[in-house]
Structure 1
Amino acid sequence: MTLLAPPSGLPLPRVLGGLLGVVLAAVLVEALVLSYRGRYDWRALVTTLGDMALRRAVGLTGLSLAGPLFSWAWAHRVHTLDLSTGGQWAGLFLLSELAYYGFHRAAHRVRWFWASHAVHHSSPQLTLAAALRLGWLGKLTGSTVFFVPLVWLGFAPAAVLGVLSLNLLYQFWLHAEWLPRLGPLEWVLNTPSHHRVHHACNPRYIDRNYGGVLIVFDRLLGTFQAEQAEEPVRYGLVGRPRIDNPIRLGLSEWQRLGRDLWAATDWRQRLAVLVGPPGP
């Protein structure tokens, strides 16, 4: 089985492809409505579209640091889980949520991953379009390595990547800043309110609410922060100027990382630069 061949009966690639048009239509409708109300940042939208185009171009090269690891894990899997039962699907969902939490926390606390993920947090306005600003060098960081253990356990790579795609699709609507809190659902699900906190650059809110579909791992592992009425959220990157050129934006944190690696005097310092938390 090739890395991206869908397992039998799994039409996720077709479904996700069909939803892309719906996503783009929602982005346009929100842009027009918010623009009519006088509070939409069209420059940010153009930057996001440029990032999407560059990410697509990089994707067409087929380059991926994690791809060989997925192939190795599948070749040496412990079991073969064909997802023929509801329990197996539930297990894949929960394990993928935990893997996503691990990835997302590392994307904020490990500088190698943050260099690409910072692009997603660079938008000065939280909109549906901001959900699509993912960083065009993301595939070259190997961030999907956090999902390799699921393949080693016996879940087919296409199933793992398909569930991850659904996770990201769920998060699309979380970027609508105008959506209210959702009552009791706030205890279990990641919601627009929780995600506003995640995108905020207020000191109180930074590095919180890493969940994908669920918020329970944040609550269990001490990274949850509720939105506070007395402290409205602010967006953007702390200590960074606004960049509207998508090429410069995608390279900006990598350039900072490269300069710090060059300035390091030994391998211990270089390793600390790569895997330590992002600096100011």
Structure 2
Amino acid sequence: MNDLIVWMEATFGAHIEWKQVVLIGMTPLFLVGFAIEWQIMRKRGARQQFYWKDILTNLTLGSSYQLFELAAHVIFVGAAVFWFWDQRFFTIPVNGWTLLPIFLGVEFCYYWFHRCSHRVRWFWTAHVVHHSGEHMNMTTAMRQSMLYSITGWWLFFMPLVLLGVHPAVVFILYACNLVYQFFIHTESVGKLHPVLEYLFDTPSNHRAHHGRNDCYIDRNYGCADHLRPSVRHLRGRTGNRGLRHQASGLQPQSADPQLPRIPCDVARRGAAGKRDATLETPVGTAGT
């Protein structure tokens, strides 16, 4: 991996947006996976999760997200990330001994990014777009907001960079996590072996994360593994997706009322930007 990074940076420059390089490169595989998912659900007579206007919205949001992330990286994120790299305490090599600990470190950082994206309104302004869809299929993973770079998703991974993990390694491994997540946004796979359900974020667990039952609110923040498998003991199924107070799923960017509420949070005593549980909090169904 080190040799690949050196070659890419020598060829294309140091400030490569590695996350988007991986995700854009994986797009053909994403489309093939979606086609297989559609065929499986069609044969089961369960095509209700494939509302084509919603799918078109997901693809449009995914494309705009990728383009904006690339632009933001060129304008300011890349320079900011390498500023942190220049301040690093150590330099950690990437080899067979360090790759797994680094991967777990990336997962740990993602957990806190994802948790804050649900608990803190500033980060929820971006993440709300992902949870505004009412149908679950693989294109739901592409339902992303252009606000992520502005709200600062990348800041959550800077502790690893300060410790001495090269930014390219951090963001390539993060992209691998996101690739995995694409394939768990599906109704086509049921519950897996209990050990797998306990250890990993499976399609069943992630369906729980996207539901809207009150008792499953803000669950399953992990990406590939379960740092806190908090819905293992819950059962049942409702099939409801999206937000508690659902706006039009076809216009998620214009429907978000979160930004105007931030000054109210700051002014309210003890709030510190934390969302009220009674607002547009996404809630989950049981793992099925």
TM-score normalised to the size of structure 2?
0.81
**Does the 8 A contact of 1:7 with 1:158 survive in 2?**
no
Pairing 1:257–2:258 present: yes
Other-structure match for 2:83: 72
Other-structure match for 1:136: 146
Q: Please report how far the alpha carbon of residue 270 of structure 1 lies from its aligned counterpart in structure 2 after TM superposition.
A: 9.6
CA distance in 1, matches of 2:182, 2:23: 13
**Does the 8 A contact of 2:190 with 2:204 survive in 1?**
yes
AA matched with 2:90: H
Q: Deviations over 1:113-170 (max 9, x none)?
A: 1111011111111111101112122222111211000000000001000000001111
Query: For residues 17 and 244 of structure 1, do their structure 2 counterparts lie closer, same or farther at Cα, with a shift above 3 Å needed?
Result: closer
**Does the 8 A contact of 1:7 with 1:156 survive in 2?**
no
Gaps in structure 1 of 5+ consecutive residues: 1-5
Instruction: Please say which of residues 69-78 and 115-124 is displaced more in the overlay.
Output: 69-78
3-state secondary structure, aligned to 1:81: coil
CA distance in 1, matches of 2:22, 2:114: 25
Other-structure match for 1:9: 4
Other-structure match for 2:37: 30
Gaps in structure 2 of 5+ consecutive residues: 9-17, 280-288
**Does the 8 A contact of 1:52 with 1:133 survive in 2?**
yes
Other-structure match for 1:3: none
Other-structure match for 1:44: 54
Query: For residues 189 and 161 of structure 1, do their structure 2 counterparts lie closer, same or farther at Cα, with a shift above 3 Å needed?
Result: same
Identity of aligned residues (%): 31
Report 1:1-280 matches (<5 A).
Answer: 7-10=2-5, 16-31=23-38, 33-34=40-41, 37=45, 38-39=47-48, 40-63=50-73, 66-84=77-95, 86-183=96-193, 184-215=195-226, 217-219=227-229, 224-226=230-232, 228-245=234-251, 249-253=252-256, 256-261=257-262, 264=264, 268-269=267-268, 272=271, 275-277=273-275, 280=279
CA distance in 1, matches of 2:270, 2:66: 31
Q: Please report how far the alpha carbon of residue 44 of structure 1 lies from its aligned counterpart in structure 2 after TM superposition.
A: 1.0
TM-score normalised to the size of structure 1?
0.83
Q: Please report how far the alpha carbon of residue 261 of structure 1 lies from its aligned counterpart in structure 2 after TM superposition.
A: 4.3
CA distance in 1, matches of 2:259, 2:2: 40
Query: For residues 271 and 45 of structure 1, do their structure 2 counterparts lie closer, same or farther at Cα, with a shift above 3 Å needed?
Result: farther
Query: For residues 177 and 65 of structure 1, do their structure 2 counterparts lie closer, same or farther at Cα, with a shift above 3 Å needed?
Result: farther
Q: Please report how far the alpha carbon of residue 58 of structure 1 lies from its aligned counterpart in structure 2 after TM superposition.
A: 1.7
**Does the 8 A contact of 1:70 with 1:148 survive in 2?**
yes
CA distance in 2, matches of 1:234, 1:267: 32
Instruction: Please say which of residues 226-235 and 70-79 is displaced more in the overlay.
Output: 226-235
AA matched with 2:275: P
CA distance in 2, matches of 1:172, 1:204: 25
Instruction: Please say which of residues 29-38 and 90-99 is displaced more in the overlay.
Output: 29-38
3-state secondary structure, aligned to 1:236: coil
CA distance in 2, matches of 1:98, 1:239: 30
AA matched with 1:204: C
